[in-house]
Amino acid sequence: MPEPEIHIFTSVEEAVSILKEYKKTITKEEMSKKQIVIKSVSSNIFRAFHNLSKRPSLIYREWASENIDEIIQKLDSITNKEDYNKHLFKWIYSFIEYWNSQITIPDDRIIFGPASKMINVLIKMLNESTYLNNEKMIPFFNVPFDKFTLKPLINIINHLSDVKYRIDIPKNPTMKYISNPELYWIIQNAVFKLCGKAGINPILYDYWCWNEKH
C-alpha cells in the first residue's frame, strides 16, 4: 500500500486557509478499557524499537492498563490548560520511568518524542470512547508528533515559533526528532498558535494530518 502523501504548507496563510475549512466531529465509540489500550498505539510505532529485552508493546500496555483509571478520573475533572499540562507531563514521565525499569541497557531508554506520542494518542483514544465526557478539556489536548504532524510545518515553523533561534525540522522527521521537552513545547506552542489563527482546536490538526490520510 503506498505511503499517504503529506502536504507541506507553503505559508502560514495557506495553512490557516486549509485548516479553518476542516470540519471534524469527534464521535464516541463503546470500547472497553482493554480495547482502548490495545488500539491506542499501533504496531508501526512499536516497530521503531529494535531488539529490546522486553516487547515494547507489552511495556506500554502494562503501564497504560495500570494507569488508565487514574487518567480517566483526572481528565474528567480538568478545567484549565495549566492543570492539563501538569498531569500530561506527570503521565509522560511516569511512563518513561516504567519503560526504563523494564529494559536492561541504557541505550534502550525511550526517547522523549515516542514517550509523549504514546501518552497523547492514549488520551486521544480515550476521548473517542464513552469514558470521557469533559468537553472543556478538548482545547487543551496536545498534538502527538510524528512525520504526519511534523512534516507539514517544515516551511512555517519559524514563522510560528516564539524562540529567538531557528528551528529546523528534517525533510523526513519521525517521532524521535522530538528529543527533549524544550523542543516538544516549541513545536506544540507553534501548532497551538497556528490553530488559534485557524479557529480550531489543536487536536483537530492531528485529525487532519493523520486520520484524514489513513
Q: What is the pLDDT of residue 125?
A: 96
| CB-side neighbour CA atoms (13 Å) of 32 | 4
One digit per residue, the tens of pLDDT, for the chain of length 214 reads: 567 889 999 999 999 999 999 988 899 999 999 999 999 998 888 888 888 889 999 999 999 999 999 999 999 999 999 999 999 999 999 999 999 999 989 989 999 999 999 999 999 999 999 999 888 999 999 999 999 999 999 999 999 999 999 999 999 999 999 999 999 999 999 999 999 999 999 999 999 998 776 5
At residue 29, the 3 state secondary structure works out as: strand
> Cα separation of 105 and 114, whole Å?
18
For residue 107, the Cα-to-chain-centroid distance in whole angstroms is 23
Check residue 2 and give its pLDDT. Answer: 63
Amino acid at 198: A
**Alpha-helical regions (H) of the chain:** 12-19, 33-40, 43-46, 56-75, 81-102, 112-127, 147-150, 157-160, 181-198, 202-209
Measure Cα distances from 168 to 33, 173, 177, 188 in Å: 38, 10, 10, 15
| Confidence at residue 49, expressed as pLDDT on a 0 to 100 scale | 86
Q: pTM for this one?
A: 0.95
3-class secondary-structure state, position 71: helix
Query: Any idea where the domains of the chain sit in the sequence?
Result: 12-213
Q: Which pLDDT belongs to residue 47? A: 85
- The whole-number pLDDT of residue 126 equals 96
Vertex 57: Cα angle to 54 and 63 (nearest 5) = 90
- What distance in Å separates the CA atoms of residue 120 and residue 41, rounded to the nearest whole number? 10
